[in-house]
Chains A and B, each alone.
Chain A
Amino acid sequence: MSPHYLIKRLLMIVYTLFVVSLVVFAITQVLPADAAVMMLGENATAQALDALRQQMGLNDPVWMQYLHWLTGILHGDFGQSLRTGQPVGPVMFEALGRSLLLACLSIGLMLVLAIPLGVIAAMRRGRLTDMLVSLVSYAGVSLPEFVTATVAVLVVSDWLKWLPATGYVPLTENFLDGLAHLALPVCVISIILIAHVSRMVRSELVDVLHTDYIRAARLKGLSGSRVLFGHALRNALLPTITVVALDVGYLLGGIIVVEEIFAIPGIGRQLIVAIQTRDLPSIQAGVLLMAATYSIVNFAADLLYAWLDKRIQYG
């Protein structure tokens, strides 16, 4: 991998964040919300409102407001929440941390389950196991998170009373209780991912198993497991890296719903509250952070892919 490619790829992330900042700023600009009224309340005097508007730069032309906002972010200042008056940055980063914990656990669970499921289905192609796996995966991709989450709360928390229904306990405070609170959300988020990725692994592996080099390895007299683990799986799993990275976009969307239902104070819940109360700086910061997370994960996936697959030479 050449330094040239790395620089190009990093510039792409910068461009991505620039476009997202423009889109978010444009959408929030058009929103019929007067920041000054929101901060001072409906009963504020006209003079007080004018003074605050002047101070916040709301009377400046739009492009100046955008530049002002952008330079603030580049200095690590995301502005102040219109709802609480607190600086948005620290709140959002703390929330993002909780969401990332949720996301990483979900991806971990997905990898542990999806790859073996896909492999088993591919090895027993056309038999009952394969049909069962594909049936389950069709059901998995067809249930939105809010449905699985609600049903999971009903069955696991209300009927069986195995796990707490909602809430969040930091792992540093009480590790086991924290895990118990995370268990259901993690399962719910990973269902769609497991369904999607196991299907990908299956179809990739089926393709790879039909290639000439696998036939050659078989004819050489290698055992089935040597062929699978030594030759086939490695090549079948490579495209999965890209799929998982792209799925992170879907995962981040799912996290919004799941955090809302399970009352987890992550970035998704912050965003929902911000959207409902039209807290513009929080919306802007939240969307930017989500887009940044997605871009960085995809960048990392590209690097990992290139590192694992020596055939690829990025120019």
Chain B
Amino acid sequence: MVDLLKRLLRTPQGATGLILITLVFIVVAFGSWLAPRDPEAMSILARYKGPSMTFLLGTDQYGRDILSRLLIGARATVITAVVATLAGTLAGALIGTVSAYLGGRADEMIMRTIDAIMSIPNLLFALLIVNLLGSGSVNALVAVAVAFAPGMARITRSVALSIRKQDYVSAAIARGESSSYIILREMLPNVIAPIIVETTIRISFAVMLFATLSFLGLGAQPPATEWGLMISEARQYMHISAGILIWPSLAIAIVAVGFNLLGDGLRDALNPRTGG
């Protein structure tokens, strides 16, 4: 673990990504303590204010402190994205590993079906599922998880296929171990490294997807404090004050860049060929 951290810090992407994501998680964990003001407190006299000492990033259309809203909103956006990606990854990894283990016709069948489902764009698939379940944060989370599962299944399967041919799997089969033992104890642990990389990068997509769902009115519902929703609400007032729009956009971008960089850094750090 310490070794991995050292290798991660050696690349500029890994180091920057790690710092950004650490900061993001500090905000997620302690956002409500860090927020300088009440994120819900409205003030008619303090609407559309630019950055100042009282309001570090200015105020929105109701005179609420933008910085405080961003710090509180991090929780909704980031945690939902992380949980959705993890759930999608787990489901996908299981399907992919099972498919690779079964091999032959069953594998062909599962993979063709997965390919077919992947011909529906992620966003559209998520929209359909949210529509089915009804708008809301939890449903958006489920939708993103389901939309991600096929892609993860495909990636896991290709990794698992190469592991299926390894001697230790053959040995387990020869020992007469059960299928579930071989899949869970021998194969899954060894497909983990590439999956961690993919998952990290996908979290950034999930952040964007979740914000997009909220923007379209299908994710978090007002008056919740969520970044995509903040942008959606800011659109009507952006002519009066650009800050309402710019700051949440920047927040989404920072989180997405952070996970992208961390993912690329992890790929280098976990790759035995490039690692030192």
Interface residues of A (CB under 8 A from B): 12, 15-20, 23-24, 27, 30-31, 138-139, 141-147, 150-151, 154, 158, 249-250, 252-254, 256-257, 260, 271-272, 275, 278, 283, 287, 290-291, 294-295, 298
- Determine the distance from Cα of A291 to Cα of B204 in the docked complex, in whole angstroms: 24
In residues 125-150 of chain B, which contact A (Cβ within 8 Å)? Answer: 127-129, 131-132
Nearest CB on B from A296, distance (A): 10
Q: B216, A249: Cβ atoms under 8 Å?
A: no
A/B interface sample: 27 pairs, CB < 8 A: A15-B116, A16-B112, A16-B116, A19-B117, A20-B119, A27-B128, A31-B132, A141-B256, A142-B208, A142-B253, A143-B249, A143-B253, A146-B232, A150-B245, A150-B249, A158-B239, A249-B121, A252-B124, A254-B123, A256-B121, A256-B123, A256-B127, A257-B123, A278-B131, A287-B120, A291-B116, A291-B120
Q: B117, A23: Cβ atoms under 8 Å?
A: yes
- Chain B residues with Cβ below 8 Å from A253 are 121-124
- Chain A residues with Cβ below 8 Å from B252 are 142-144, 147
Contact of B121 among A16, A24, A250 (CB under 8 A): A250
Q: Chain B 50-91, CB within 8 Å of chain A: the 1/0 string?
A: 000000000000000000000000000000000000000000
- Determine the distance from Cα of A31 to Cα of B128 in the docked complex, in whole angstroms: 10
- Determine the distance from Cα of A254 to Cα of B235 in the docked complex, in whole angstroms: 18
Q: B128, A283: Cβ atoms under 8 Å?
A: yes
Q: A256, B124: Cβ atoms under 8 Å?
A: yes
- Chain B residues with Cβ below 8 Å from A151 are 245-246, 249
**Given A138-B260, A256-B127, A275-B131, 6 more pairs with CB closer than 8 A:** A16-B112, A142-B253, A144-B215, A260-B216, A287-B124, A298-B119
Q: Give the interface size class of chain B.
A: 35 or more
Contact of A16 among B119, B209, B245, B257 (CB under 8 A): B119
Asked if B115 is at the interface (CB within 8 A of a chain A CB), the reply is: yes
Nearest CB on B from A4, distance (A): 16
Nearest CB on A from B50, distance (A): 16
- Determine the distance from Cα of A147 to Cα of B249 in the docked complex, in whole angstroms: 6
- Chain B residues with Cβ below 8 Å from A18 are 116
Q: A27, B129: Cβ atoms under 8 Å?
A: yes
Interface residues of B (CB under 8 A from A): 112-113, 115-124, 127-129, 131-132, 204, 208-209, 211-212, 215-216, 228, 231-232, 235, 238-239, 242, 245-246, 249, 252-253, 256-257, 260-261
- Determine the distance from Cα of A139 to Cα of B204 in the docked complex, in whole angstroms: 12
- Determine the distance from Cα of A250 to Cα of B242 in the docked complex, in whole angstroms: 28
- Determine the distance from Cα of A20 to Cα of B120 in the docked complex, in whole angstroms: 8
Q: A154, B124: Cβ atoms under 8 Å?
A: no
- Chain B residues with Cβ below 8 Å from A15 are 112, 116
Q: Taking chain A's interface residues, is the majority helix, strand, or loop, or is none over half, making it mixed?
A: helix
The 6 closest A-B pairs by CB, nearest first: A253-B123, A142-B256, A19-B116, A253-B121, A144-B208, A16-B116
Nearest CB on B from A134, distance (A): 9
Nearest CB on B from A142, distance (A): 4
- Chain B residues with Cβ below 8 Å from A27 are 128-129, 132
Contact of B242 among A17, A154, A260 (CB under 8 A): A154
Contact of A154 among B115, B121, B123, B245 (CB under 8 A): B245
Q: A19, B216: Cβ atoms under 8 Å?
A: no
Q: A138, B261: Cβ atoms under 8 Å?
A: yes
- Chain A residues with Cβ below 8 Å from B116 are 15-20, 291
Which B residue sits closest to A293, measured CB to CB? B119
Nearest CB on A from B218, distance (A): 8
Question: Which of B124, B204, B231 is packed against the most chain A CB atoms within 10 Å?
Answer: B124
- Determine the distance from Cα of A249 to Cα of B122 in the docked complex, in whole angstroms: 8
Q: B122, A31: Cβ atoms under 8 Å?
A: no
- Determine the distance from Cα of A295 to Cα of B253 in the docked complex, in whole angstroms: 31
- Chain A residues with Cβ below 8 Å from B127 are 256, 271-272, 275
- Chain B residues with Cβ below 8 Å from A256 are 121, 123-124, 127
Q: A291, B119: Cβ atoms under 8 Å?
A: yes
Q: B122, A139: Cβ atoms under 8 Å?
A: no
- Chain B residues with Cβ below 8 Å from A250 are 121-122
- Determine the distance from Cα of A308 to Cα of B128 in the docked complex, in whole angstroms: 38
